[in-house]
Chains A and B, each alone.
Chain A
Amino acid sequence: MAVTIDDVRHIATLARLGLSDERAAAIVGELNTILGHMDELAKVDTAGVEEAIGVGAEGLPVREDKGPPFPLARSLDAFAPSVRDGFLLVPRLSTHESPEEA
């Protein structure tokens, strides 16, 4: 399963990483080398083996439906790049309709 330049562009888009053409080309090689080492895994017999999911046999701990919330020592203004009237501001989406378009 070799990684192509199109694959790299596609995943860079999924990950919102702007890659220059040069960098993207270099990454193709890097990923293929790294993934090449992973091929050993395909040879391992994992029939019937459970995936390693979750810590502890007791399962997910739950909390009561009440506050107070975990306090913030400083308000949003202190660390957010752009705040106005309490809202976080970001550049307006070009088509502003849906997550698919962001």
Chain B
Amino acid sequence: MTSPVSKSTLEKWEMVVGLEVHVQLKTRTKLFCACSAEFGAQPNANTCPVCLALPGALPVVNKAAVGLATRASLALNCEVQPVSIFARKNYFYPDLPKGYQISQYDKPLALDGWVEIGARADGSPIRIGVTRVHMEDDAGKSIHDRFPGVTAVDLNRSGVPLIEIVSEPDIRSAEQAGAYLRVLKQILEYVDVSDLNMEEGSLRVDANVSARRRGESKFGTKTEVKNMNSFSGVERALEVEFARHVSVLEAGGVIEQQTMLWDGSTVRPARSKEGSHDYRYFPDPDLPPLILDLQWIEKARHDLPELPAARRARFASEYRLGDYDVEVLTASPRLADYYESVARAHGEPKAAANWVMGEVMATLKTSGEDISRFRVRPADLAALLGLVRDGVVSHTAAKQIFAHMVATGDQPAQIAEREGLVKVDDDAQLSAWLDEVIAENPNEAERFRNGEKRLQGVLVGAVMKKSKGRADPRKLNQLLTTRLTS
């Protein structure tokens, strides 16, 4: 799809973008009540006086949610505030039972973080600032097309804990926006705070976009873009909205500050009523300030798992892997864990890398399952690699053994025995096969004997086939050379 933004436009105009990402925290219960936060229950099954906002109900905060929010904030290099305050954001909507959302306003949980999304041509890192991370409770779901003429409301999601991650307006292109989102998602995956599933709604993105002439330091008027359902959707929506800003401004017009909705190919204004955005934030009187012990914060920082950047650096140095291998193997933390277990057990990181990036990932791609559910245990894969290294099975046989391991979960040595895939390097047996092949391929044998060395591969291949991959190629090659040069 061609970009709506032309090169000449980009020479004159600069896109300025800030992203607001909402992430659902994977707690068992909701943020302010003990209802289950699980996805998929019967409508309104997971409700209680608190999340139904019955008269007289009161919120009590979920400790684990605070822990996950803190972990996420630290992973984004934020300063976690020892004192933060929950505030009410007041507005009316049928899936917002209290008539307000409990969020954080003046004093959020964390401030002043950053994320590195790549490097410039000169090697300097591109950093996108994270202005703040704050906690808030989610609204329920309003479904407009289930019954005619009415909106159906399900409050199961009402009260589920969210963090909102607000970036500085440091993003300068759709590409950078995509990179930011991918880096952010990977970091959050590494610290295991959320399912991060855009389809299920556990990850949502809103954007603030403006345009300004290159060289200009002041920001232009921004518009908000909502309803983007994928990272690529975000990238496209940004370009479309930026292009719209530019065309308005070039025509001498003025950008109206409003909310735009993405519908997959265009943006259109949300019909918001004048003045409807006055949320009248004030500190929630039902919730005293959240006070976090400095030692507790430090311990949380200390307990952070290895983050993607650090893991990549370590894989490069410890396992001497090249950039491409590192990228692939650290894409997801579970895959990286798997790889490391194999590499450490086997002792040869490069071989382990080849197998994980090759056979393992190909298998996962076909089956569609997740590495965390993969039947082949790292220790067993390492054992298989050991068999190859020790010459017990050939590389070709190993692939067959691997397929059996995927199917049955059995041990490689066991499978090798059972399927007769153990490598044969017995001279007598090899000679017997070689004789058969020579007899079956007299022409090629003769031509090889007469100097066409390239036919070696064909003859060896034929023996490998006859032996069902068990023949030891090295020994075989030696034998062949001996037999057909005399």
Contact = CB atoms under 8 A, between A and B. Distances in A.
Interface of A: 10, 13-14, 16, 51, 53-56, 58-72, 76, 82, 84-93, 95-102
A69 to B, nearest CB: 4
Nearest to B280: A14
B271 interface: yes
Contacts of A95: 271
Given A10-B275, A90-B153, A98-B272, A70 B48 contact: yes
B225 to A, nearest CB: 12
Contact of B272 (A54, A63, A100): A100
A98 B152 contact: no
Contacts of A82: 150
Given A59-B290, A69-B48, A89 B271 contact: no
Interface string B40-51: 001111111110
A44 to B, nearest CB: 20
B189 to A, nearest CB: 20
B93 A99 contact: yes
Question: Looking at A58, A65, A71, which has the most chain B CB atoms within 10 Å of its CB?
Answer: A65
A87 B272 contact: no
Nearest to A86: B43
B468 interface: no
User: A82, A88, A91 — which one has the most chain B CB atoms within 10 A of its CB?
Assistant: A88
A55 B287 CA distance: 8
Q: What 8 A-B pairs have minimum CB-CB distances, sorted nearest first?
A: A59-B291, A65-B64, A100-B272, A87-B152, A86-B43, A62-B63, A54-B288, A88-B153
Given A70-B48, A89-B150, A89-B151, A100 B277 contact: yes
Interface residues of B, number: 63
Given A13-B273, A59-B291, A95-B271, A66 B34 contact: yes
B291 A58 contact: yes
A60 to B, nearest CB: 5
Interface stretch (B25-33, B167-175, B230-238): B25-33
A25 B21 CA distance: 43
Contacts of B66: 62
B87 to A, nearest CB: 10
A102 B93 contact: yes
Given A58-B291, A63-B62, A67-B35, A92 B27 contact: no
B107 to A, nearest CB: 10
Given A60-B290, A69-B35, A90 B151 contact: yes
A87 B62 contact: no
Nearest to A54: B288
Interface in B70-109: 83, 85-86, 90-94, 96
Interface stretch (B139-147, B195-203, B374-382, B416-424): B139-147
B386 interface: no
A71 to B, nearest CB: 7
B152 A88 contact: yes
B118 interface: no
B482 interface: no
Contacts of B226: 98
A102 B289 CA distance: 32
A89 B95 CA distance: 11
B333 to A, nearest CB: 22
B66 to A, nearest CB: 6
B278 interface: yes
Nearest to A84: B147
A65 B60 CA distance: 11
12 contacts: A13-B276, A14-B276, A54-B85, A54-B288, A54-B289, A59-B290, A63-B34, A70-B50, A96-B142, A98-B226, A100-B276, A102-B94
Nearest to A94: B271
A85 B146 CA distance: 11
B34 A99 contact: no
B288 A56 contact: yes
Contacts of B65: 65
Contacts of A16: 92
Nearest to A91: B150
A86 B62 CA distance: 27
A89 B147 contact: yes
A65 B63 contact: yes
A61 to B, nearest CB: 7
Interface string B145-161: 01101111111000000
Contact of B270 (A51, A87, A101): A101
Given A62-B62, A63-B60, A89 B153 contact: yes
Interface in B12-27: 27
A65 B85 contact: no
A97 B270 contact: yes
Contact of B283 (A53, A61, A68): A53
A84 B152 contact: yes
Contact of B48 (A71, A96, A99): A71
A99 to B, nearest CB: 4
B150 A92 contact: yes
A100 B270 contact: yes
Contacts of B191: none
A62 B278 CA distance: 30
B273 A101 contact: yes
B36 interface: yes
